[in-house]
């Protein structure tokens, strides 16, 4: 698989090769490219929309600080993430989501710049009300809903409209609204939908947003609610095999503006919380080829590193895109297909299977693109106790 790396990334990799004599293994993050991308996303977003970054995708401090001037805040899905975000970007509004929140996490969160608690259950709502009452504050609440929507599309990862640990169904919503009305320590700010991820189809996602708008308006009318915020989650997908087929954000935003006008949603803040689509393209995972072997008629290239550093291909079940940066040794493979594996003693340590390469030799570098989201941070980093990769950040 051959692709052209950005000039800044090429220069960074060449410098790493020159500086280190040991076999190379590193993550490279292109921060200027990340900034250009988030600015472009902001420029086409309708005026009444907000953009939060879902830190679970990549919580590296320099990634967060690059994004901070351009996003409306950050979303945390654990107490640990919440504290980390507060430490790195103390003035940024925070959303606290995820199931199974601990009482001490809810209590600590009230000391931070919390824009909203995304409540996942009636039990959690009661705990939040009690803790807020004890602190003498009002907790800003958004109810995460798991409702069956008439027009809900499908994707590779569906997290709502069926039995899941996430959000409130119709019965849970009725109970939650009763608690909110009875508890002065709670302030209902809005509703939160996040039914799917990995969406590549703009038209299908616009239909999902249409369903969100219809449901939001109907619930507000049925329950006499005046809510300032509707959180529509994220879910915009990356096409790992062909990045040109990834989610078309600009076209989506044009359609979104039409839906906002059609359904009179201009006075409502439409909030997005997006992770993968923001940070995936800024990251590169680099591993040096340690060995090339043939086994039962197939070539394998063993690189320094593996899925314990870069779990994305295993998690997604795909052959991850890569390019070869040639070294100085004569090619051992020419015009053949090769499976790219790591150093782990498991046959599951595969990053790409039987991919064609023009040339490959021991000492060459395999550079995996689209490695800036759900990569290092989701990997089983301590398995076999290999050394971690270096982390290098390209600055502006």
* pLDDT tens over the chain, length 396 residues: 557 899 999 999 999 999 877 899 999 999 999 999 999 999 999 999 999 999 999 999 999 999 999 999 999 999 999 999 999 999 999 999 999 999 999 999 999 989 999 999 999 999 999 999 999 999 999 999 998 776 555 544 444 455 777 889 888 899 999 999 999 999 999 999 988 888 999 999 999 999 999 999 999 999 999 999 999 999 999 999 888 889 999 999 999 999 999 999 999 999 999 999 999 999 999 999 999 999 999 999 999 999 999 999 999 999 999 999 999 999 999 999 999 999 999 999 999 999 999 999 999 999 999 999 999 999 999 999 999 999 999 997
Same-domain check for residues 327 and 371: yes
Last residue of a domain, one of 218, 252, 274: 274
User: Using an 8 Å Cβ cutoff, are 367 and 5 in contact?
Assistant: yes
Q: Which domain holds residue 359?
A: 7-29+281-394
Last residue of a domain, one of 237, 252, 274: 274
18, 26, 107 from 134: Cα distances, Å: 59, 48, 10
- Whole-number CA gyration radius for the chain: 23
What pLDDT was estimated at residue 152? 54
The dihedrals phi and psi of 128, each to the nearest 5 degrees, come to: -65, -40
Last residue of a domain, one of 232, 248, 274: 274
Strand 139-145 and strand 114-119: the pairing is parallel
Catalytic residue among 12, 253, 282, 345: 345
What pLDDT was estimated at residue 357? 97
- Has residue 369 been placed in a domain? yes
204, 235, 273, 361, 391 from 155: Cα distances, Å: 9, 9, 18, 39, 33
User: Using an 8 Å Cβ cutoff, are 337 and 274 in contact?
Assistant: no
Measure the CA–CA gap between 126 and 145, rounded to whole angstroms.
17
Q: Can you say how many angstroms the Cα of residue 207 is from the centroid of all Cα atoms in its chain?
A: 22
To the query of whether residue 12 is one of the catalytic residues in this protein, the response is: no
Q: Which of 137, 129, 84 is nearest to 103 (CA)?
A: 129
What pLDDT was estimated at residue 162? 59
């Amino acid at each position: 698989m051959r692709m052209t790396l950005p000039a800044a990334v090429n220069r960074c990799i060449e410098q790493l090769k020159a500086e280190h004599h040991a076999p190379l293994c590193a993550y490279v993050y292109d921060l200027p490219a990340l900034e250009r991308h988030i600015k472009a996303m902001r420029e086409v977003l309708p005026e009444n929309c907000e953009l939060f970054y879902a830190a679970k995708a990549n919580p590296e401090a320099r990634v967060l600080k690059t994004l901070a001037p351009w996003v409306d805040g950050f979303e945390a899905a654990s107490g640990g993430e919440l504290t980390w975000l507060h430490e790195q970007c103390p003035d940024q509004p925070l959303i606290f989501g995820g199931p199974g929140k601990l009482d001490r996490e809810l209590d600590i969160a009230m000391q931070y710049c919390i824009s909203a608690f995304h409540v996942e259950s009636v039990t959690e709502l009661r705990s939040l009300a009690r803790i807020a009452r004890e602190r003498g504050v009002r907790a800003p609440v958004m109810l995460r809903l798991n409702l069956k929507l008439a027009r809900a599309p499908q994707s590779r990862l569906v997290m709502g409209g069926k039995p899941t640990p996430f959000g409130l169904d119709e019965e849970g919503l009725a109970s939650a609204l009763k608690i909110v009305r009875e508890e002065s320590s709670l302030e209902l700010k809005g509703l939160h939908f996040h039914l799917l991820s990995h969406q590549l189809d703009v038209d299908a996602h616009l239909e999902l947003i249409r369903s969100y708008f219809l449901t939001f308006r109907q619930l507000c009318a049925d329950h006499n609610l005046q809510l300032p915020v509707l959180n529509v989650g994220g879910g915009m997908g990356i096409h790992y095999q062909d990045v040109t087929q990834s989610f078309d954000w600009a076209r989506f935003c044009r359609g979104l503006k039409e839906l906002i006008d059609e359904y009179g949603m201009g006075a409502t803040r439409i909030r997005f919380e997006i992770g993968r689509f923001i940070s995936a393209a800024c990251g590169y995972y680099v591993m040096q080829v340690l060995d090339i072997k043939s086994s039962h008629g197939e070539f394998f290239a063993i690189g320094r590193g593996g899925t314990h550093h870069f779990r994305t291909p295993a998690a997604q079940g795909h052959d991850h895109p890569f390019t070869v940066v040639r070294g100085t040794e004569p090619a051992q493979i020419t015009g053949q297909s090769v499976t790219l594996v790591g150093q782990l003693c498991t046959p599951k340590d595969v990053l790409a299977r039987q991919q064609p390469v023009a040339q490959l030799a021991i000492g060459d570098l395999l550079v995996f693109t689209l490695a800036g989201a759900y990569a290092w941070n989701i990997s089983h980093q301590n398995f076999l106790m290999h050394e971690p990769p270096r982390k290098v950040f390209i600055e502006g």
